[in-house]
């Protein structure tokens, strides 16, 4: 992707300018971001997804479509009969991670790869009957809201007061103060930075696609890394008992020997001695598929071109490649080719031939578990 080239998707801004001016900073309304856009899944196909165990879905029903006071909230899966009738106003069905289940939605998400893959999360589809919405709220992450079908009226505001109404099954702002209002038509898109207050209300039946992002929380990241380092430490440090041949006799028996605490410090320093260990742990963590993702095993033979399965998360840094939570050391030509695979999500037959025997055998393993497929 040429990040300097103006994109219709970003209202004529280049990805570079969009990131500088808007990303994490201010909203952008883009009329006809995708001209002539038509829904990639029809209502029946969406309901089929919402009925599946491995698909995360939620239902939000407003007690009164106009008043918006009472809210009911339920987690899926939903059999068709468990959903309210289409002629009932004011309900919304949210289906998460649709990019994992449909190639066209995966391709849509790929249009947003000017943001690093490590920050991309998923595509959610919301279906709403007239007047439906999830109430005025804010999200913790950036989002592109692409209108796919029908119209939605958005009200947004940059308020500081993010207090929530108490005792609600959903996050609803206590004091929503909208500053702008607009109606999005199919193909229009709204970008919102994190914590920007918004409320989208369906104007007739409508479907909206949310291209969502993830952003690790520092406590969560620290915990994950420490856990992984702890597991590695057990393997790498090996046994090594504390010894104290110079220990004096003590008259204050409960006092901790300073040398013992020093020993613990030194053990920890040894465990962290590999300067690449943290980068490796972060890469493994960020490339991990979501909990409900399963791969179907495939052909373990790599003949020609290959492509990543749409559920595969592949990242890399200067020393490693990361794929679906695993890390591999990579250098030289193999690293370069693996990086091409991660960036373009495919590798030509000619490039596959250039891989070392070791790297090719790794790819055969990935094909066998369904992370990678022959690209014919
Ligand atoms: C929706 O699409 O119904 C809600 C999306 C959002 O406001 O984040
Ligand atoms: Co939102």
Residue to substitute in 46, 91, 130, 133 for testing ligand 1 pocket (most ligand atoms within 8 angstroms of CB): 133
Whether residue 68 has pLDDT greater than 60: no
For the chain, give the mean pLDDT.
Answer: 95
Spacing, Cα 37 to ligand 2 middle (Å): 21
CATH 3.10.580.10 fits 287-374, yes or no: no
Backbone angles phi, psi at 316, to 5 degrees: -155, 160
Residue list, ligand 1 pocket, CB within 6 Å: 92, 126, 133-134, 139, 143, 198, 200, 208, 210
Token pair, residue 208, equals 């909206």
Spacing, Cα 186 to ligand 2 middle (Å): 18
Domains 8-213 and 287-374 share a fold: no
- What pLDDT is attached to residue 302? 73
- 8-213 has which CATH code? 2.60.120.650
Which is the closest atom of ligand 1 to the Cα of 198?
A: 7
Nearest residue (CA) to ligand 1, atom 4: 134
Provide the percentage of residues in the chain whose pLDDT is more than 70: 98
Spacing, Cα 281 to ligand 2 middle (Å): 31
pLDDT tens digit sequence for 15-28 = 999 999 999 999 99
pLDDT tens digit sequence for 301-341 = 777 999 999 999 999 999 999 999 999 999 999 999 999 99
CA distance 237 to 230: 10
pLDDT tens digit sequence for 108-138 = 999 999 999 999 999 999 999 999 999 999 9
Token pair, residue 289, equals 């598929």
**Domain range summary for the chain, segments of one domain joined by +:** 8-213, 218-283, 287-374
Spacing, Cα 200 to ligand 1 middle (Å): 6
């Amino acid at each position: 992707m040429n990040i300097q080239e103006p994109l219709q998707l970003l209202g004529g801004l280049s990805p570079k300018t969009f990131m500088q001016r808007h990303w994490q900073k201010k909203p952008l309304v883009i009329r006809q971001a995708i001209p002539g856009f038509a829904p990639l899944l029809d209502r029946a196909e969406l309901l089929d997804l919402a009925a599946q165990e491995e698909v995360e879905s939620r239902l939000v029903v407003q007690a009164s479509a106009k008043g918006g006071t009472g809210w009911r909230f339920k987690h899926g899966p939903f059999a068709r009969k468990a959903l309210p009738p289409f002629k009932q106003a004011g309900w919304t069905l949210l289906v998460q991670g649709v990019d994992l289940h449909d190639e066209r939605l995966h391709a849509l998400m790929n249009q947003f790869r000017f943001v690093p893959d490590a920050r991309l999360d998923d595509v959610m589809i919301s279906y709403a009957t007239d007047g439906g919405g999830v109430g005025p709220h804010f999200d913790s992450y950036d989002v592109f809201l692409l209108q796919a079908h029908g119209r939605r009226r958005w009200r947004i505001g940059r308020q500081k007061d993010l207090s929530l109404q108490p005792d609600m099954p959903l996050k609803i702002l206590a004091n929503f103060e909208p500053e702008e209002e607009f109606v999005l038509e199919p193909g229009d898109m709204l970008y919102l930075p994190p914590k920007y207050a918004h409320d989208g209300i369906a104007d007739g039946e409508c479907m909206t696609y949310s291209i969502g992002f993830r952003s690790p929380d520092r406590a969560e990241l620290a915990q994950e890394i420490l856990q992984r380092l702890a597991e590695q430490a057990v393997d790498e440090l090996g046994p090594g008992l504390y010894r104290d041949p110079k220990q004096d006799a003590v008259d204050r028996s409960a006092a901790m020997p300073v040398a013992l605490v020093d020993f613990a410090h030194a053990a920890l320093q040894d465990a962290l001695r590999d300067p690449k260990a943290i980068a490796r742990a972060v890469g493994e963590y960020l490339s991990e598929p979501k909990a409900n993702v399963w791969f179907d095993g495939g052909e373990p033979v790599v003949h020609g071109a290959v492509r990543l399965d749409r559920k595969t998360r592949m990242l890399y840094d200067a020393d490693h490649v990361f794929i679906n939570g695993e890390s591999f050391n990579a250098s030289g030509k193999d690293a370069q080719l693996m990086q091409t695979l991660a960036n373009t999500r495919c590798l030509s037959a000619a490039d596959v031939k250039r891989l070392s025997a070791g790297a090719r055998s790794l790819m055969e393993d990935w094909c066998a578990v369904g992370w990678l497929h022959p690209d014919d």
